[in-house]
Amino acid sequence: MRAAVEDSRTDRALEEVFAVVEAANGYIEANAPWKLLGKEPARLESILGALVAAEREVAKYLAPFLPATAAELERRLGGGTFVAGPPLFPKAGQSSRAVPASRIQ
Protein backbone atom coordinates (compact mmCIF):
# COMPACT_ATOMS: atom_id res chain seq x y z
CA MET A 1 0.00 0.00 0.00
CA ARG A 2 2.85 2.38 0.77
CA ALA A 3 3.97 2.30 -2.88
CA ALA A 4 0.44 3.10 -4.06
CA VAL A 5 0.24 6.09 -1.71
CA GLU A 6 3.71 7.32 -2.70
CA ASP A 7 2.69 7.09 -6.38
CA SER A 8 -0.50 9.06 -5.62
CA ARG A 9 -2.59 5.98 -6.52
CA THR A 10 -5.31 6.53 -3.94
CA ASP A 11 -7.58 4.11 -5.77
CA ARG A 12 -5.01 1.33 -5.59
CA ALA A 13 -4.21 2.05 -1.93
CA LEU A 14 -7.88 1.81 -0.97
CA GLU A 15 -8.27 -1.39 -2.98
CA GLU A 16 -5.47 -2.89 -0.90
CA VAL A 17 -7.11 -1.74 2.36
CA PHE A 18 -10.43 -3.23 1.41
CA ALA A 19 -8.71 -6.46 0.31
CA VAL A 20 -7.71 -6.84 3.98
CA VAL A 21 -11.34 -6.26 4.99
CA GLU A 22 -12.51 -8.89 2.49
CA ALA A 23 -9.89 -11.35 3.75
CA ALA A 24 -11.05 -10.77 7.34
CA ASN A 25 -14.65 -11.37 6.28
CA GLY A 26 -13.60 -14.63 4.62
CA TYR A 27 -11.71 -15.62 7.76
CA ILE A 28 -14.85 -15.02 9.83
CA GLU A 29 -16.97 -17.12 7.48
CA ALA A 30 -14.41 -19.94 7.35
CA ASN A 31 -13.92 -20.11 11.12
CA ALA A 32 -17.49 -19.37 12.31
CA PRO A 33 -16.47 -17.98 15.72
CA TRP A 34 -20.12 -17.82 16.81
CA LYS A 35 -20.13 -21.65 16.82
CA LEU A 36 -17.18 -21.76 19.22
CA LEU A 37 -18.73 -19.70 22.01
CA GLY A 38 -18.78 -21.85 25.15
CA LYS A 39 -17.18 -24.80 23.33
CA GLU A 40 -13.63 -23.86 22.33
CA PRO A 41 -12.65 -20.70 24.21
CA ALA A 42 -8.94 -20.84 23.29
CA ARG A 43 -9.67 -21.14 19.58
CA LEU A 44 -12.33 -18.43 19.81
CA GLU A 45 -9.86 -16.09 21.51
CA SER A 46 -7.27 -16.80 18.81
CA ILE A 47 -9.70 -16.10 15.99
CA LEU A 48 -11.02 -12.90 17.55
CA GLY A 49 -7.48 -11.75 18.31
CA ALA A 50 -6.51 -12.19 14.67
CA LEU A 51 -9.56 -10.23 13.58
CA VAL A 52 -8.82 -7.37 15.98
CA ALA A 53 -5.24 -7.24 14.67
CA ALA A 54 -6.52 -7.10 11.08
CA GLU A 55 -8.96 -4.32 11.93
CA ARG A 56 -6.22 -2.33 13.65
CA GLU A 57 -4.23 -2.55 10.43
CA VAL A 58 -7.28 -1.40 8.47
CA ALA A 59 -7.68 1.58 10.81
CA LYS A 60 -4.02 2.51 10.39
CA TYR A 61 -4.20 2.38 6.61
CA LEU A 62 -7.55 4.16 6.39
CA ALA A 63 -6.36 7.11 8.48
CA PRO A 64 -5.02 9.22 5.57
CA PHE A 65 -8.29 8.79 3.64
CA LEU A 66 -10.97 8.58 6.34
CA PRO A 67 -9.41 10.00 9.52
CA ALA A 68 -12.62 10.19 11.56
CA THR A 69 -13.64 6.65 10.62
CA ALA A 70 -10.16 5.31 11.38
CA ALA A 71 -10.15 7.08 14.75
CA GLU A 72 -13.58 5.65 15.60
CA LEU A 73 -12.44 2.15 14.65
CA GLU A 74 -9.35 2.52 16.87
CA ARG A 75 -11.55 3.80 19.72
CA ARG A 76 -13.81 0.76 19.43
CA LEU A 77 -10.88 -1.66 19.36
CA GLY A 78 -8.77 -0.01 22.03
CA GLY A 79 -8.39 -0.79 25.68
CA GLY A 80 -8.91 -4.53 25.47
CA THR A 81 -12.71 -4.22 25.47
CA PHE A 82 -14.69 -3.96 22.26
CA VAL A 83 -17.00 -0.96 22.19
CA ALA A 84 -20.14 -1.53 20.11
CA GLY A 85 -21.48 1.24 17.91
CA PRO A 86 -23.31 1.88 14.69
CA PRO A 87 -21.87 0.34 11.53
CA LEU A 88 -18.94 2.34 10.18
CA PHE A 89 -19.88 1.39 6.62
CA PRO A 90 -23.62 0.62 6.54
CA LYS A 91 -24.94 -1.13 3.46
CA ALA A 92 -27.25 0.85 1.19
CA GLY A 93 -30.63 1.06 2.87
CA GLN A 94 -29.25 -0.22 6.19
CA SER A 95 -29.70 1.80 9.35
CA SER A 96 -26.57 3.24 10.90
CA ARG A 97 -28.00 2.84 14.41
CA ALA A 98 -26.08 0.92 17.03
CA VAL A 99 -26.85 -2.74 17.61
CA PRO A 100 -28.51 -3.17 21.03
CA ALA A 101 -26.07 -4.63 23.55
CA SER A 102 -28.59 -7.37 24.31
CA ARG A 103 -28.05 -8.72 20.77
CA ILE A 104 -24.26 -8.92 21.14
CA GLN A 105 -23.15 -12.25 22.57
Distance CA 27, CA 49 (A): 12
Closest CA to 73 of 91, 53, 48: 53
Cα-only R_g, the chain: 15
In this prediction, residues 26-35 reach a mean pLDDT of 95
Distance CA 39, CA 4 (A): 43
Q: What are the residue boundaries of the structural domains of the chain, listed by start?
A: 2-103
The residues, any chain, with a CB within 8 Å of residue 61's CB and separated by 6 or more, are 1, 13, 16, 17, 20
Query: Is the entire prediction scored with pTM above 0.75?
Result: no
What CATH class does 2-103 carry?
mainly alpha
In the prediction, which pLDDT does 84 show? 81
In this prediction, residues 37-49 reach a mean pLDDT of 94
Distance CA 95, CA 78 (A): 25
The mean pLDDT value of the chain amounts to: 81
- At position 9, the amino acid (one-letter code) is R
